[in-house]
Amino acid sequence: MTLRLINRAANQLDKLIAAIHDTVSGNKARRVALKQKAIVAMLASEHHSIIKLRAEQNRLLGKSKYRGTLLLRADYHKHAA
């Protein structure tokens, strides 16, 4: 229990020292910009994969107005393979 508390305190202290060092050296702005770029790229790739899946579903099943028809077509394609 004591070792765990000491490790947590040491980790928090390391983070604090790193944050102070980043602020002083100017790395903080670069780090934030890189993190934002990574998040935007991740969201874009996730959005792209969702669009790709929707396009494939529309290609396989066609655009059906009614859910029952959609389920029948999905069942047909599932058992056709």
- Give the residue numbers spanning the domain of 1: 1-80
Q: Which residue has the tokens 């100017």?
A: 26
Name the pTM for this structure.
Answer: 0.40
Residue 2: predicted pLDDT: 87
Residue 12: predicted pLDDT: 92
The total domain count for the chain is: 1
pLDDT in tens, 18-64: 888 877 887 777 888 888 999 888 888 888 888 888 888 777 776 66
Q: Each residue of 17-26: b (16+ CB within 10 Å) or e?
A: eeeeeeeeee
Neighbour tally for 31: CB within 10 Å: 13
Answer for the pair 61, 70: CB distance below 8 angstroms, yes or no: yes
Residue of 77, 47, 80, 49 whose CA lies nearest to 61: 77
11 token code pair: 């980790």
